[in-house]
Amino acid sequence: MGKAKQGILEVQGTTIGLLARENVDYISLTDMAKKFGDDVLIYSWMRNRNTIELIGIWEQIHNPNFKGLEFETFKRQAGLNAFSLTPRKWIETTGAIGFISRAGRYGGGTYAHKDIAFEFGSWLSPGFKLYLIKEFQRLKDEESDRLKLDWNLQRTLSKINYRIHTDAVRDTLIPPTVTHAQAVITYASEADVLNVALFGTTARQWRAPKCVPCRGILESRS
Same domain membership, residue 161 and residue 99:
no
Which of 124, 158, 184 corresponds to the end of one domain?
Answer: 124
Same domain membership, residue 119 and residue 173:
no
CA 184 to chain centroid: 41
Same domain membership, residue 120 and residue 30:
yes
The Cα 35–Cα 31 span in angstroms is: 7
Same domain membership, residue 159 and residue 82:
no
Same domain membership, residue 93 and residue 166:
no
> Which pLDDT band holds residue 211 (cuts at 50, 70, 90)?
very low
109-113 and 99-102 beta bridge pairing: antiparallel
Instruction: Give me the phi and psi of 141, to 5 degrees please.
Output: -65, -40
The string of pLDDT tens digits covering residues 76-94 is 999 898 999 999 999 999 9
DSSP, residue by residue, 44-60: HHHTSHHHHHHHHHHHH
Closest CA to 220 of 182, 172, 173, 178: 182
Instruction: Give me the phi and psi of 20, to 5 degrees please.
Output: -125, 115
27 lies in some domain: yes
What are the distances in angstroms from CA 138 to CA 11, 96, 132, 133, 152? 11, 28, 10, 9, 21
Same domain membership, residue 156 and residue 118:
no
Domain hosting residue 64, numbered range? 5-124
> Which pLDDT band holds residue 140 (cuts at 50, 70, 90)?
confident
Residues in CB range of 111: below 8 A, 6 or more apart: 17, 19, 26, 27, 28, 29, 30, 99, 100, 101, 102, 117
Residue 115 above 90 pLDDT? yes
8-12, 109-113, 118-122: least confident range:
8-12
Q: What is the domain count for the chain?
A: 2
Instruction: Give me the phi and psi of 18, to 5 degrees please.
Output: -125, 145
118 lies in some domain: yes
Is the pTM above the cut of 0.85? no
Same domain membership, residue 58 and residue 119:
yes
From the number of C-beta atoms within 10 Å of its C-beta (0-12, 13-18, 19+), residue 30 rates as: buried
